[in-house]
Structure 1
Amino acid sequence: MTVWVEVALQSHRSGDGSIGALADALQRVAAFAGVTPASTRFTTRDVPLKTPGWRLSIDTLDGARTLCAVQAEGTPISGFTRYRTFARPAGDDLAASLTEFAHADGALREPLDVPLPDSDAEREIARIEWRIDAGGADILATLETSSEGPPTLRLAAASVDGALDAVFRVAGEVIDAAPFFIAPDEAQESETAPVHAARLDLPRTATRHDAFVAIAASVAQQWFGNAAASHASLGDEHVHQLRVAQRRLKTLLKLFKSYVDDAWNTRIAPDLEWFGELLANARDWDVFTDQTLPAYAEADDSAERWQTLIAAADIKRRIARDAVRDALASKRYARLTLAFVEWLARFASQEDAEPVRLVSFAEKRIRKDYRRIARVPDLASLEAHERHRVRIHAKRLRYALEFFRSVTSRRTRKSTAQRLGELQTVLGEANDAAVAADRLAAIPEASDYQRGFARAWGAASARKDAQEGERLLRSMHRPRVKRSI
């Protein structure tokens, strides 16, 4: 059975809602030039399956129905899939056809042993296909659109030597020439709500390599999901969750330092830093405008004196958010996401030269990160920048516990993780106060009184939060990994 590799790209809808303009843009890509496209229109009906990694649909073209099953292999990665396909004509009795299909191959019996749903909801799909010779690798390029979501371009090739290079090379050419980006997960394509980090339950038998791929894929799901959700309108929570995804990714790379190679450092890291700085600036202005300044106004004897300053900060907040919005729509960002997915897909396909059990790796990393915060002196005795470093280490440990939750003790997942979150929040409030004082000092509309008020607030917050942070730190139980598994 042939295994396929596929890169999925998504586009904003063309101006008239059709895929014609996108098809014209693709014809100007070198790989598509001279290739005659084929257009079809059909309906499809998805059949829910309980078996993870499987999808089943009933496609109808010119009155003929086909059962199509897809089995994804390996960890799902946003924008990239390695899969096998199964297809069989369906007769008038769909239930009987499904039963025959399920027994046609041993691999199909369990996932397809399901009753057909009562719903007859179908989607109409417009499809344009190109068959491309990409330097020895045959690529099937499929541009599809429906009323359910934006147009999607899939570049698929049989998984042979050179196929991975070919599909990503053509994807890069497409991104350079047309308004396409790495596609988010299909479940998130039509969503506009912010996407939070999904809970990770890594198999206890997983290796270090398996864990890295699964965690990185989870980060990509949150990252690309929020980017797609924000296309209609970029809100403060989209910015926040994009920022969280970048922090989770940074923590992941700190935990798995040996996996960071030259390709990462040269092709991904510089643009990742550029994007991260834009997010950090926008998030800081959100916090300053929506939380810090209103708190100052409420604590002051005259809230009115702060309204002009809040309005001035809001302008700067909008400018910072516009910079993020422009970045998300840029070619630079599209190339960054493609490079990230390509790097992860290549890493996932590599053999694990030195398999290490997740349990052993997690225990070592968690112990090391815990010591970094447990052995610090009294937080109240530290300088502000030293407490900030403690906060960073606490945040990394909390993310590590989220990543490795399936191999940690129940008390670690509950009590220790909660204490770490509280510690991070307390020290974060002190850091926000310090950042706020700097930002306020840079706003021309701020008076000397307001600058002094912010400095005094920051100093009081630092003392109070350091004391509370010390209490939380010393009441924290040491995180434990379950060695019996």
Structure 2
Amino acid sequence: MTVWVEVALQSHRSDDGTPGRLVAALEQIPAFAGATSVRTRLAARDIPLKPPGWRLSVETLDGARLLCAVQEESTPMPGFTRYRTFARPAGEDLAASLREFAEAEEALRGPLAKAHRFVAPDTAVTLEGDSGETVAVPDRRPEPEGEVERVEWRIGAGGADILATLETCEGGRPELRLAAPAANGSLDAVFTLAGEVIDAAPFFIAPGEAHEPESQPVHAAKLDLPRSATRREAFVAIAASVAGQWFGNEDAARAGLGAEHVHQLRVAQRRLKTLLKLFRDDVDDTWNTRIAPDLKWFGDLLADARDWDVFTDKTLAAYADSDDNPARWQALIAAADVKRRVARDTVRDALASKRYARLTLAFIEWLARFASQEDEKPMRFVSYAEKRMRKDYRRIARVPDLVSLEARERHRVRIHAKRLRYALEFFRSVTSRRTRKETASLLGELQTVLGEANDAAVAADRLASIPEATDYQRGFARAWGAASARKDAQEGERLLRSMRRPRVKASL
């Protein structure tokens, strides 16, 4: 059975609802210009499957129906997959065809065993409850059939036979998939062609799993790494999870970039930075030269936008609420809001830029290559996680009394606490219940308390950059910052000393 590698790119919705302009842009690329395009219009729908790593769909073209099952062979990540496909014609009785399909190959029997239950178009799936009653499961209804316009090219590039497929469906963004049989050089070929596409046409890395509603911010997903995972497998799974949050918020923000989108994009970048510090030996020259500079560029834009959001919506609002004359702060809040909108527009422009599209492609290419490499000396990630948690905990537990530290030193403690909290999120599947509940919670509180003091310090710098700020307001901010630093240092010290050392599960 052939294993394929595939890069998936997405475009903004075409202006006229057809792929015509995208096809014209693609066929300006030399690799596409020499290939003949084949156009079809078909109906397709997905069929729900419970087992992870499997997808099932049915396509109807000129009255003939085809069942297509896909098994992912690698850790799911946005924009890239390694997979096997299974296909079989379907008859009028779709449920019967699915039962036959499941029995056709050993690999399909488990994943497709109950698929025939999910094809009735007008009924919900029913399951038997714990007490024997019948329970309807309405969210397992089959997906409605949708019309798909497909354009395909067979392209010989980089020694690989690449199938390029552009699909447009009603209400969705056009997607371009570049797939080739997995062989020496195929990974190079599909990513090289993807780079040419991004340079020439309005495409970017597909965000992966859809999030509903589309415009809502995407938070970090909980990781459940298996105990048997190696260090490399854990790194790939965590990085893919970070990419899901990163690209999910990028996709959601295309409908309108809000403060929470900026915040979650910033969180994703911080989680990625933490991951790289936890696994610093895996950072190579390719990362440092191709990815790190643009990642810093994007991260700096997010940091500036996030700081203006906090300053405008939280810090200045708190100042106004605490003043005996809140009205005197309104002009300053309005001036800060202008700067906040400028910073957010800069992030919005960056998300739409070629530089950003190349950054995301380079990141996914690096991760895909890393995932495909053989592990010469596999290490259980449980052992590695225990060592890292112990080391990072000592870094904050051994600091002197927080009250005695300078503001910059306390800020460093906050950064280390935040990194340890993210590490506990990454390793949660192997940590003790107390670590997941108590230690992680205290770390979050410590980060918040010390963060408030840091926000007050940042506010003083922000005020200095706004001409509308009065001497009274600058003095108010300095006094607030000094009082906040003392109070937050005392509370931070209490939280820090009540924290227990993170531990892995005793059963391990």
Same fold per superposition (TM over 0.5): yes
What secondary structure does 2:15 align onto? Answer: coil
The equivalent of 2:70 in structure 1 is: 70
The equivalent of 1:215 in structure 2 is: 238
Correspondences of 1:128-207 after superposition (within 5 Å) = 128-188=151-211, 191-207=214-230
Residues 393-445 of structure 1, C-alpha deviations (whole Å, 9 max, x = no match): 00000000000001100000000000000000000000000000110111100
Query: Runs of 5+ in structure 2 lacking a partner?
Result: 123-143
Query: Is 1:325 aligned to residue 348 of structure 2?
Result: yes
- The one-letter code matched in structure 2 to 1:324 is V
Query: Is 1:275 aligned to residue 277 of structure 2?
Result: no
Report how far residue 16 of structure 1 moved. Answer: 1.5
Report how far residue 135 of structure 1 moved. Answer: 2.6
- The one-letter code matched in structure 1 to 2:19 is I
Residues 368-397 of structure 1, C-alpha deviations (whole Å, 9 max, x = no match): 000000000000000000000000000000
The equivalent of 1:417 in structure 2 is: 440
The equivalent of 1:242 in structure 2 is: 265
What secondary structure does 2:45 align onto? Answer: strand
Correspondences of 1:287-366 after superposition (within 5 Å) = 287-366=310-389
Query: Normalised by the size of structure 1, how large is the TM-score?
Result: 0.99
- The one-letter code matched in structure 1 to 2:495 is L
Residues 137-177 of structure 1, C-alpha deviations (whole Å, 9 max, x = no match): 00000000112410000000000111000000000000000
Verify the 8 A CA contact 1:359 1:482 in the aligned structure 2: no
The equivalent of 1:42 in structure 2 is: 42
What secondary structure does 2:292 align onto? Answer: helix
Query: Normalised by the size of structure 2, how large is the TM-score?
Result: 0.94
Query: Is 1:117 aligned to residue 119 of structure 2?
Result: yes
Verify the 8 A CA contact 2:432 2:506 in the aligned structure 1: no
- The one-letter code matched in structure 1 to 2:350 is A
The equivalent of 2:454 in structure 1 is: 431
Residues 315-342 of structure 1, C-alpha deviations (whole Å, 9 max, x = no match): 0000000000000000000000000000
Report how far residue 34 of structure 1 moved. Answer: 2.2
Report how far residue 354 of structure 1 moved. Answer: 1.2
- The one-letter code matched in structure 2 to 1:149 is G
- The one-letter code matched in structure 1 to 2:346 is A
Verify the 8 A CA contact 2:155 2:162 in the aligned structure 1: yes
Verify the 8 A CA contact 2:158 2:186 in the aligned structure 1: no
- What is the alpha-carbon distance in structure 1 between the residues aligned to residue 428 and residue 30 of structure 2? 47
Percent sequence identity is 78
Verify the 8 A CA contact 2:94 2:119 in the aligned structure 1: no
The equivalent of 2:20 in structure 1 is: 20
Verify the 8 A CA contact 1:359 1:407 in the aligned structure 2: yes
Report how far residue 118 of structure 1 moved. Answer: 2.3
- What is the alpha-carbon distance in structure 1 between the residues aligned to residue 375 and residue 399 of structure 2? 37
What secondary structure does 2:369 align onto? Answer: helix
- The one-letter code matched in structure 1 to 2:500 is H
Task: Identify if the C-alpha distance between structure 1 residues 281 and 396 changes in structure 2 by more than 3 Å, giving closer, same or farther.
Answer: same
The equivalent of 2:254 in structure 1 is: 231
Report how far residue 484 of structure 1 moved. Answer: 3.3
- What is the alpha-carbon distance in structure 2 between the residues aligned to residue 241 and residue 384 of structure 1? 26
- The one-letter code matched in structure 2 to 1:208 is R
Of 476, 480, 494, 1:453 maps to: 476
The equivalent of 1:477 in structure 2 is: 500
Residues 14-41 of structure 1, C-alpha deviations (whole Å, 9 max, x = no match): 2222211000000001210121211001
Of 257, 267, 277, 1:254 maps to: 277
- What is the alpha-carbon distance in structure 1 between the residues aligned to residue 158 and residue 431 of structure 2? 48
Query: Is 1:386 aligned to residue 388 of structure 2?
Result: no
Report how far residue 483 of structure 1 moved. Answer: 5.0
- What is the alpha-carbon distance in structure 2 between the residues aligned to residue 204 and residue 261 of structure 1? 27
Query: Is 1:90 aligned to residue 90 of structure 2?
Result: yes
The equivalent of 2:103 in structure 1 is: 103
- What is the alpha-carbon distance in structure 1 between the residues aligned to residue 452 and residue 2 of structure 2? 55
Report how far residue 188 of structure 1 moved. Answer: 3.2
- The one-letter code matched in structure 2 to 1:396 is R
Aligned length: 485
Report how far residue 189 of structure 1 moved. Answer: 8.4
Verify the 8 A CA contact 2:198 2:354 in the aligned structure 1: yes
- What is the alpha-carbon distance in structure 1 between the residues aligned to residue 304 and residue 156 of structure 2? 44
- The one-letter code matched in structure 2 to 1:468 is E
Verify the 8 A CA contact 1:268 1:339 in the aligned structure 2: yes
- What is the alpha-carbon distance in structure 2 between the residues aligned to residue 190 and residue 9 of structure 1? 21
Verify the 8 A CA contact 1:12 1:151 in the aligned structure 2: yes
Report how far residue 100 of structure 1 moved. Answer: 1.0
Verify the 8 A CA contact 2:158 2:188 in the aligned structure 1: no
Verify the 8 A CA contact 2:224 2:429 in the aligned structure 1: yes
Report how far residue 190 of structure 1 moved. Answer: 6.9
Verify the 8 A CA contact 1:25 1:178 in the aligned structure 2: yes
- What is the alpha-carbon distance in structure 1 between the residues aligned to residue 211 and residue 10 of structure 2? 12
Residues 352-374 of structure 1, C-alpha deviations (whole Å, 9 max, x = no match): 11111111100100000000000
What secondary structure does 1:133 align onto? Answer: strand
Question: Over aligned residue pairs, what C-alpha RMSD do you find?
Answer: 0.9
- What is the alpha-carbon distance in structure 2 between the residues aligned to residue 189 and residue 267 of structure 1? 33
What secondary structure does 1:32 align onto? Answer: helix
Verify the 8 A CA contact 1:148 1:190 in the aligned structure 2: no
- The one-letter code matched in structure 2 to 1:194 is P
Task: Identify if the C-alpha distance between structure 1 residues 341 and 403 changes in structure 2 by more than 3 Å, giving closer, same or farther.
Answer: same
- What is the alpha-carbon distance in structure 1 between the residues aligned to residue 82 and residue 393 of structure 2? 38
Verify the 8 A CA contact 1:149 1:189 in the aligned structure 2: no
Task: After superposing the two structures, state which structure 1 stretch, 355-364 or 336-345, moved more.
Answer: 355-364
- What is the alpha-carbon distance in structure 1 between the residues aligned to residue 199 and residue 365 of structure 2? 16
Structure 1: 4+ residue segments shifted above 3 A: none
Query: Is 1:376 aligned to residue 399 of structure 2?
Result: yes
Report how far residue 180 of structure 1 moved. Answer: 0.3
What secondary structure does 2:395 align onto? Answer: helix
What secondary structure does 2:31 align onto? Answer: coil
- What is the alpha-carbon distance in structure 1 between the residues aligned to residue 502 and residue 485 of structure 2? 27
Report how far residue 282 of structure 1 moved. Answer: 0.1
